[in-house]
């Protein structure tokens, strides 16, 4: 499909918003979609995507692999690459894929992808790589996400799916018009509502929060970070110690129980397991009453404030929100479960604007109505390999073949992976304890990566295929809770020799004799037309405007109909608990779960409970590493994407990621604003630029994820990430045996001023550059 002429707005989309591109002699300019009331500033990162020096221009093969062939290799990630032609690179990859599938089968192949590389529905790297590997015979897959895996496992046991407890439960419209009190555990940070998988045409959170505030709704922000809610809505900030939300919830719950403020009728009619939980809450089962005084000693909040929260919440339309960040920590299942229990005790579950909602404020499209028609979706075909891992157990998989482990009531075994194929995503951003991940990536025989830029994942590959970015190809942008379908026109020619993932996989499929199964005889444009048709047909059935593909493409967008908001299965259950059961084992809200109790896990009991972390509050390690590190989502980019973009680069201090710390913690360490500092613990160390701020509570430092991993290898002291990636510090361990989810939100560190010569930033330079 041809480019639009210079000066003509080119429609396109991204995970952080729909936009148009204006091409001119000096580059491109990004114009937010006119219907967006609060466009994401992350759009400012996009122009750098086209021609930054980090772009990969030609297929590359690691020197040692090219010389010595496949096999485990500690040089992976530490040596240069050799440019080769497309024919050579494709032949090498096809030969290695054939060898591994012939000798070891699909159970020796891990298909890695994380789905965030494009808002397009066809050039969706995760769908492309999984479809390709499935036609070869299947692959070992990962399940759930780094963002939300603990919740994805615990919620179906307790109240229903993430969809039921998040996207379909309470809307932004209901919050702005009906909610009286919001208990925002982890906040509702606007920086997170800037993005949503598949894109968004309207960022609505700020306006709805302001409307609720003007109406008189009262917000309680429960977070160690003051800016996890916007100051304009005047939230009451409760600067909790990181990772102690469960004790606080228990203290609130105990006050409700002790003062007779809990809704006994709701608990008896809609829930199971409350008497067992109350025995724990009151201390009858273990001798420890979980009252406000007990909670105050752990959370370091006044007991009177805890009791006041309970009294304010009781008898009103109260909404308990639980941010995704809470469950990205050790025992991360517990705050989600306890949030449901707290809402149940208040009797609010299933009421408009009340009850419990998960992940509201974590993504732009949560709390918006669902679409009435299906979206274009590339079929991934059948995976014939049953093996799987929870997504955050990738290093364990590679390092421990044959080892058994627990997961959600099952006993599974790690496969012996010989080949890793990664397209879309950067595990050296998402994963914890990156120094351990480096060791893990040395173990397979071969690592193949598609990427547009020299991320750490590409640097740790053996064969690197240069991939196009979204502005260099045609696609259809869409998301399940946003009404705008976007015709994503190309705005630039591919960089260097870059090709789109579909073309790469089609060429490999031809070499491996499965081209017909993979392509079904269609070009990329044929697929766009084919995938659009089910959406158009559904529009016809509804009597809506249903342009053919050419008319849609020429118009640049199409507004799709949405379903009326009805609160989903939770609202139905509230209205008719006898006939509209919840999708839980008992059909009720499970305050205590017989199913989970039957697993016999020592780190996830049959009811929500406070279990002190191995690293954190009460840990002996805090004597050596006394600061809590909050490694949260960045405000200047999506994950690690476009870390070299203008918005991301402008936030850095002397080229390093900024770290915020309280003035008292800075003063005691002789740290001034703008100093380069070293954060360290027993796992690793990194440099960052100090920002002195009252917005973090004392004893807490905040360093966002997403700075590209840039290790300076030091023989004696271990690698130092000179750029500021906090995942050199975080712990690579599952939340519990139940979910085995990511625990990367919190860790413990020490921090000191860095007085030595500043090492150069090489993260964005090509290998050997």
Q: Which of the residues are catalytic?
A: 114, 116
By DSSP bridging, strand 17-24 and strand 746-753 are unpaired
Specify the DSSP class assigned to residue 166: I
How far apart are alpha carbons 677 and 457 in whole angstroms? Answer: 26
Rounded Cα distance, 490 and 27, in Å:
14
DSSP run (H or E) holding 658: strand 658-661
Which of 435, 437, 351 has its CA nearest to residue 394? 437
Exposed/middle/buried for residue 496 (C-beta within 10 Å: 0-12, 13-18, 19+): exposed
Would you state the structure tokens that stand for residue 573, as one six-digit string? Answer: 């259950």
Specify which residues 17 forms β-bridges with: 14
* Two structure tokens written together for 30: 């990004």
Alpha-carbon distance 323 to 148, whole Å? Answer: 10
DSSP code for 224: S
**H helices of 446-523, where?**
456-459, 501-511, 515-519
**CA–CA gap between residue 300 and residue 224 (Å, rounded):** 11
Strands 419-423 and 109-112: parallel
101 with 138: CB under 8 angstroms? no
Phi and psi for 110 in degrees, rounded to 5?
-105, 125
Distances in Å between the Cα of 628 and the Cα atoms of 187, 227, 673 are 18, 17, 19
Query: SS3 for 114?
Result: coil
The CA-atom distances, in angstroms, between 220 and each of 233, 245, 387, 390, 393 are 10, 13, 43, 33, 35
Query: Each residue of 628-640: b (16+ CB within 10 Å) or e?
Result: bbbbbbbbbbbbb
Say if residue 129 is exposed, middle or buried (CB neighbours under 10 Å; 0-12, 13-18, 19+).
buried
* Whether 390 contacts 149, CB under 8 Å: yes
Beta bridge partners of 335: none
For 66, residues 6+ apart whose C-beta sits below 8 A from its C-beta are: 82, 84, 92
- The alpha-carbon radius of gyration of the chain (Å, integer) is 26
The Cα–Cα gap between 123 and 134 comes to: 17
- CB count, 10 Å around CB of 706? 25
Q: Is 557 exposed, middle or buried (0-12, 13-18, 19+ CB in 10 A)?
A: buried
Q: How far apart are CA 604 and CA 236, in angstroms?
A: 32
The 3-state DSSP composition of the chain as helix, strand, coil percent (nearest 5) reads 35, 20, 45
Please name which of 730, 613, 632 lies closest in space to residue 681, comparing C-alpha atoms: 730
Nearest to 570 by CA among 757, 216, 320: 320
Cα 659–chain centre separation: 21
At residue 405, the 3 state secondary structure works out as strand
Smallest CA-to-CA distance from 608 within 155, 259, 267 is with: 155
The region, left, alpha or beta by phi > 0 then psi within -120 to 50, assigned to residue 275 is alpha
Please report which residue ranges of 283-430 form alpha helices under DSSP H.
292-299, 303-313, 333-345, 394-399, 427-430
N-terminal to C-terminal alpha carbon distance within the chain: 35
- Report the DSSP beta bridge partners of residue 691: 660
């Amino acid at each position: 499909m041809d480019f639009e002429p210079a000066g003509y707005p080119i429609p396109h989309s991204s995970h952080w918003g729909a936009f148009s591109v204006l091409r001119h002699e000096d580059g491109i300019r990004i114009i937010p979609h006119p219907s967006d009331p609060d466009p994401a500033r992350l759009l400012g990162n996009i122009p750098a995507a086209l021609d930054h020096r980090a772009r990969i221009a030609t297929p590359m093969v690691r020197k040692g692999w090219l010389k010595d062939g496949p096999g485990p290799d500690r040089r992976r990630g530490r040596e240069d690459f050799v440019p080769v032609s497309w024919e050579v690179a494709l032949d090498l990859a096809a030969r290695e894929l054939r060898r591994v599938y012939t000798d070891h089968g699909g159970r020796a192949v891990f298909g890695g992808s994380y789905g965030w590389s494009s808002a397009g529905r066809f050039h969706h790297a995760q769908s492309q790589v999984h479809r390709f590997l499935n036609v070869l015979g299947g692959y070992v897959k990962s399940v759930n996400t780094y963002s939300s895996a603990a919740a994805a496992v615990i919620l179906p046991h307790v109240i229903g799916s993430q969809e039921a407890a998040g996207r379909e439960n309470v809307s932004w419209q209901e919050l702005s018009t009906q909610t009286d009190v919001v208990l925002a555990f982890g906040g509702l940070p606007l920086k997170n509502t800037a993005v949503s998988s598949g894109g968004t045409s309207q960022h609505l959170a700020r306006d709805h929060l302001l409307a609720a505030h003007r109406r008189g709704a009262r917000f309680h922000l429960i977070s160690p970070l003051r800016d996890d809610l916007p100051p304009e809505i005047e939230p009451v900030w409760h600067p909790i110690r990181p990772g102690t939300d469960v004790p606080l919830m228990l203290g609130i719950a105990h006050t409700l129980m002790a003062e007779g403020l809990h809704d006994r009728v709701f608990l008896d009619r809609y829930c199971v397991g409350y008497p067992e939980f109350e025995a724990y809450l009151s201390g009858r089962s273990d001798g420890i009453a979980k009252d406000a005084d007990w909670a105050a000693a752990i959370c370091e909040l006044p007991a009177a404030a805890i009791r006041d929260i309970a009294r304010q919440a009781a008898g009103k339309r109260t909404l308990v929100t639980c941010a995704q960040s809470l469950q990205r920590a050790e025992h991360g299942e517990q705050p989600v479960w306890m949030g449901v229990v707290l809402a149940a005790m208040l009797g609010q579950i299933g009421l408009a604007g009340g009850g419990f909602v998960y992940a509201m404020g974590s993504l732009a499209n949560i709390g918006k109505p669902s679409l009435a028609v299906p979206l274009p979706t590339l079929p991934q075909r059948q995976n014939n390999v049953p093996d799987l891992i929870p997504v955050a157990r990738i290093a364990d998989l590679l390092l421990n073949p044959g080892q058994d482990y627990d997961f959600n009531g099952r006993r599974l075994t790690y496969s012996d992976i010989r080949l890793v194929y990664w397209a879309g995503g950067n595990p050296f951003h998402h994963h914890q304890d990156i120094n351990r991940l480096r060791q893990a990536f040395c173990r397979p025989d071969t690592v193949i990566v598609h990427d547009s830029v020299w991320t750490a994942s590409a640097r740790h590959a053996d064969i690197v295929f240069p991939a196009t970015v979204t502005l260099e190809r045609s696609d259809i942008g869409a998301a399940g809770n946003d009404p705008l379908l976007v015709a994503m026109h190309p705005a630039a020619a591919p960089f260097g020799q870059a090709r789109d993932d579909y073309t790469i996989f089609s060429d490999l499929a031809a070499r491996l004799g499965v081209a017909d199964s993979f392509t079904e005889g269609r070009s990329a444009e044929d697929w766009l037309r084919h995938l659009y048709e089910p959406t158009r047909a559904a529009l016809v059935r509804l009597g809506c405007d249903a342009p053919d593909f050419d008319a849609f493409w020429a118009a640049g967008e199409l507004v799709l109909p949405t379903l009326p908001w009805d609160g989903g299965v939770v609202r139905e259950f509230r209205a008719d608990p006898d006939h509209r059961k919840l999708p839980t084992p008992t059909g009720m809200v499970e305050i205590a779960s017989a199913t989970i109790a039957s697993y016999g896990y020592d780190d996830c009991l049959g009811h929500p409970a406070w279990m002190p972390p191995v690293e954190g509050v009460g840990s002996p390690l805090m004597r050596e590493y006394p600061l809590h590190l909050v490694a949260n989502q960045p405000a200047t980019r999506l994950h690690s994407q476009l870390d070299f973009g203008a918005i991301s680069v402008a936030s850095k201090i002397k080229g390093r990621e900024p770290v915020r710390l309280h003035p008292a913690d800075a003063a005691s360490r002789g740290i001034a604003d703008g100093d380069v500092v070293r954060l360290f613990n027993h796992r690793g160390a990194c440099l960052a630029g100090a920002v002195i701020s009252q917005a973090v509570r004392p004893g807490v430092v905040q360093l966002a994820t997403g700075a590209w991993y840039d290790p300076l290898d030091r023989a004696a002291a271990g690698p130092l990430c000179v750029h500021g990636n906090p995942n050199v510090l975080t712990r690579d361990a599952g939340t519990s045996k139940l979910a085995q989810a990511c625990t990367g939100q919190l860790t413990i560190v020490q921090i000191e001023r860095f007085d030595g010569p500043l090492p150069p930033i090489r993260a964005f330079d090509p290998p050997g550059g």
